[in-house]
Structure formats: C-alpha cells, structure tokens
Amino acid sequence: MDKDNLDNDLPHVAFIGRSNAGKSSLINSLTGVKNLARVSSNPGRTQGANIFLINKAMYFIDLPGYGFAKKSVESLQSFCDIIHWYLFDSDHKPRVILIVDAEVGPTSSDLEMFEELQVNSREIIVVANKVDKIKKSQLANQLKKIAGIFEGYQVVPYSSDAGVGTRELTEAIFRESKIN
Ligand code: GDP
C-alpha cells in the first residue's frame, strides 16, 4: 500500500471483515461479474493486502481479516498498525465494505470496527453475508435485526454461494464512487 504501486487519483474501496466472514469468496464473486467489475491486472500483494485494479477506475483493497487468533501478538500488532494507518490515517481515505456473517450476526469485533469507521467518518456499506445459511422463515427477521444495528447505512444481503446480492453491491459501489 505504499505510494509507488498505486495511482493515488483512483478511489479505493476496502473490504474488511472477520477472518472466515467470506471476504475472499465475495471479492471473487464480485470481480467475476462480466462488464460490471473486471480485474484488469493480477492482484498485487503488499503488506498482506491484495490489491485489484477494477475497470481501471478504482482499486479494491482486500485487507487481512481481523480476529487472527493464531498470529503472534507482535505480528498481530504490526498487522493492526498497517490496517489502522491505511483506513484512518492515509491519504487514500477508502470507502469501506464491512462484511459480517449474517447467520452469526455482528460480533463484538465487527461492532468495534464499525464504531471506529464511524468515528473516522468513513463511508460504509455493510454486507450481510452468507444469507443462504439462514432458514427462509428466519431471514427477514435476521436481516431486520442487522439493519437495526447498522441503522443509517446500506446493508446488502449477500451470498457468494447462492449468487445473491452481487448486482446490488456492485451498483452501490459504483454509484457511491460517482464514476459510473
Ligand atoms: P475469508 O476468510 O473472509 O476470506 O472467507 P472465505 O471467502 O475464505 O470463506 C470462509 C468460509 O466460508 C469458506 O468455507 C467458504 O466456503 C464459506 N463461504 C464463503 N461465502 C459463503 C456463502 O456465501 N455461503 C456459504 N454458505 N458459505 C460461504
């Protein structure tokens, strides 16, 4: 994420979430949508983040998932420092796609991240991911609960497995960045 390998004029969209929230699958499913979001270069890898240039118009930044229990305290700290710097202190001022597991609901680490994003005035789109795992009879209720928690922000129900939400999320990303 240093200045040398990124064009600073293009908007950044950062994808974050707990490890296992389905972030990699989501980015794969999003970038696989023909004519909407095309990966035009191989993902670069810098400081643990994957970087995708999308339609030569914006960068998708795939940040390491939070909640990495297996990492040493030291490496966890340096990871956190990088993510923190990137999200809140760098000039990139990325918009953020916050991915939560819709079946589990937002965890305390999700809520901590959400609060920090709000405090730092980041634009946020919430993804309620893996909706295919929720029983049909409970889906509306669960989504309502999640929408209540993230009141005031767009919450997009999503499932990479079932192909739900790709269009809505793509439209939200392109609309918000005012480049479409
Ligand atoms: P990441 O750690 O956040 O990048 O998560 P991954 O994309 O690697 O996915 C973590 C696990 O969740 C894997 O076992 C995936 O198969 C599963 N997964 C990801 N997306 C979905 C989804 O939409 N529905 C279901 N049921 N499982 C999913």
More confident site: 78 or 179: 78
Q: Report pLDDT digits (tens) over 83-95.
A: 888 999 999 999 9
DSSP 7-69: -TTS-EEEEEEBTTSSHHHHHHHHHTSTTT--B-SPPEEETTEEEEEETTTEEEEEPPPB--T
What domains can be seen in the chain, in order of their start residue? 3-172 (3.40.50.300)
Q: Full-prediction pTM beyond 0.85?
A: yes
Contact 83, 4 (CB under 8 A): no
Two tokens, residue 149: 């928690």
Q: In the chain, what is the straight-line distance between the N-terminal and C-terminal CA atoms, in Å?
A: 25
CA-nearest residue for atom 10, ligand 1, is: 20
Q: Report pLDDT digits (tens) over 29-70.
A: 988 754 444 443 444 444 467 888 888 889 999 888 887 555
pLDDT of 177 reads 54
- CA of 25 from ligand 1 middle (Å) equals 6
Supply the DSSP symbol for 54.
Answer: E
